[in-house]
Amino acid sequence: MIDSELSSKLSAYLDGELSEEDSRNVEEILRNNAQARAAFEDLRRTSAAMRGFYDVENDLDEASSSREAEVVERISRASARVVAVRSHRGRRMFLWVGGFLLLATLLVWGLRRLERSRSVGEMLRGVLELMESDHYELSSRTAGESELWQVGPRGRFHLRRVGGAGILHEGFDGRRTWRYVEGDRKVILLSGEAARVVREENPWKRLEAALWAAVDEEGNGETWIAESESGGERETIVLRGPSGKRIELSFDAEGGPAAVTLDGVAYVVTRRPALGDEAFTWETWAPGIPVEEAAR
Amino acid sequence: MEPNDATTDDDRDWELFLQADPGDQNAFRELVGRHFRAAIGFCTQVLNDPQLAEDVVQKGFVKLFGARDRYSRQARFRTLLFRVLLRLCINELQRKKVARPFTDLEDEESEPIQSRIKDGRGELPEEEAERKELGEMIRAAVMTLNPKHRAALYLREYEQLAYADVATALDATLSEVKIWIHRGRQAVQQRLRPYLERGERVR
């Protein structure tokens, strides 16, 4: 009787799965140990018997052999079908992904258009909100056109321009710049250069330029002085140029109106009461104009 | 089979497997045909059910082809096939609980795999009876083993795979394979003891 370790080694030796050194050891044992030799012989015969058994098991009879072709055919067809389906599924997946991306693109495009086309109601609500909060109004009038410009905190403004082309509204709600022509069903959101022009080329800027030109013939704009004079029930802002020219904008206790006519355009500036006296500073009245508050 | 032939065969297997076009049935037919008998033999040994073995072989090929994008050539194609088939066989055995000891199968009326064995090998009636008896003994011993051990024994004894290939096919370590094969042989040897002692024809 041999131990199980040697038995296991004999099995691996039979299969040629031992290292060279282990093989030499086993061969040495086989030479000197009759029991080991007998065990190895039993193992070899068992292995041979098993191979014979499997040979017989796998040796198909005639009927099974003819059936083999059928089964191979069936399996081949099933395999080809699954490859075709996978391939078709791949194409279908590609179409799905493509379709999805197209839809997503259309959705984004539509949303952007929606964002750019606000309803008139929303625009009017914004204007109303501006008018109900602290703000100034500047109206200017020429022969063929009149403008009303309302400006509130954080640079929000609304411009209503009446002229030969109809009534135009433009505005900035602190985030978006828009334009609306009365009678249209949509408000157009502006971006880029168009938005910049609307925000920067407005009546306030024109008044600013006209004031500038009025008090400073050289137009350098750097030496003119504004003085704010509070006296009694009126408050006057005096703009004085280097040559001594001066323009006064005088508000009453209610905040307005201050009127001035420059180059044939009559400007009326009204400070809306909602702002209160404390809120009335040159910076809020004419933001961005370089000025020294000589007297306060 | 020479190693070079094996390599060439395996090259062809992988070429057919990876490039077979659904429009070209011949490629599928060739690949399935090359491995059909080995696959059926393997599954029949593990399942002890020829009909179920056919179904599993079909499932195995379909599974392989269905996921062929995920396979790369890291082993011999046949080893990969055995690996897939073994998993399917074990699933079937667990599902249908057909893995019963041989003693439970002896009285079964359904046709066992030996019905496929070719009769009439030119043997004398006594020789044929003896061969069948020996076959039954080996089958009885093999069927006492668990499916993985049965598979290991089959792959080694019949397919003549090296232990490393058996390990790859069975998703096992070399040590496990070595033990399984050894224990399998011991179980068969135990059954064949009377024959071995008489020194009769077991080749």
Q: Which of A166, A131, A129, A128 lies closest to A146 in space, CA to CA?
A: A166
pLDDT band at A293 (very low <50, low <70, confident <90, very high): very low
Do the chains contact at A79 and B182, CB–CB below 8 Å?
no
Which residues in chain A touch residue B33, judged by CB atoms under 8 angstroms apart? 72, 76
Range of the domain at B169: 3-117+126-198
Say how many domains are in chain B. Answer: 1
What is the distance between the alpha carbons of residues A112 and A90, in angstroms, rounded to a whole number? Answer: 33
Does residue B203 lie within any of the structural domains?
Answer: no
pTM, entire model: 0.54
Q: How far is CA A166 from CA A146, A160, A216, in A?
A: 11, 10, 35
Q: Check which CATH number belongs to the domain holding B190 and give it.
A: 1.20.140.160
For A218-257, how does the pLDDT look when each residue is reduced to its tens digit (9 = 90+)? Answer: 655 555 555 555 555 666 666 666 666 777 776 665 655 6
Beta carbons within 8 Å of B74's beta carbon, 6+ residues apart: none
pLDDT given at position A257: 67
Is residue B186 within 8 A of residue A3, CB to CB? The reply is no
Range of the domain at A233: 205-285
User: Which of B61, B163, B182 shows the shortest C-beta gap to A75?
Assistant: B61
Is residue B85 within 8 A of residue B43, CB to CB? The reply is yes
Q: What is the DSSP-derived secondary structure letter of residue A274? A: G
Which of A199, A223, A252 terminates a domain? The answer is: A199
pLDDT given at position A64: 67
User: Which of B135, B157, B186 shows the shortest C-beta gap to A56?
Assistant: B135
Name, of A146-155, A209-218, B64-73, the range with top average pLDDT.
B64-73
pLDDT given at position B116: 41
What distance in Å separates residue A87's CA from the closest CA in chain B?
Answer: 9
Asked whether residue A261 carries a pLDDT value surpassing 90, the answer given is: no
The answer on A162 and A190 residing in a single domain is yes
- The DSSP H or E segment spanning A158 is strand A157-163
Which of A164, A199, A234 terminates a domain? The answer is: A199
For A37-70, how does the pLDDT look when each residue is reduced to its tens digit (9 = 90+)? Answer: 999 998 998 898 888 888 877 776 666 677 788 8
The answer on A252 and A181 residing in a single domain is no
What distance in Å separates residue B94's CA from the closest CA in chain A?
Answer: 24
The answer on A131 and A194 residing in a single domain is yes
What is the distance between the alpha carbons of residues A141 and A63, in angstroms, rounded to a whole number? Answer: 109
**Which pLDDT tens digits describe chain B residue by residue (203 residues)?**
444 555 688 888 888 888 888 788 888 889 999 999 889 889 988 888 888 888 999 999 999 888 888 888 778 899 999 999 999 998 888 887 644 444 444 334 334 333 444 444 455 567 677 777 888 888 888 888 888 898 999 999 988 899 999 999 898 999 999 999 999 998 888 888 877 776 554 44
The answer on A211 and A193 residing in a single domain is no
For A170-207, how does the pLDDT look when each residue is reduced to its tens digit (9 = 90+)? Answer: 888 877 888 888 777 677 888 888 888 888 877 777 77
Do the chains contact at A56 and B154, CB–CB below 8 Å?
no
Q: What is the DSSP-derived secondary structure letter of residue A223? A: S
Which residue's structure tokens are 């073995």?
B53
ipTM of the complex, rounded to two decimals: 0.75
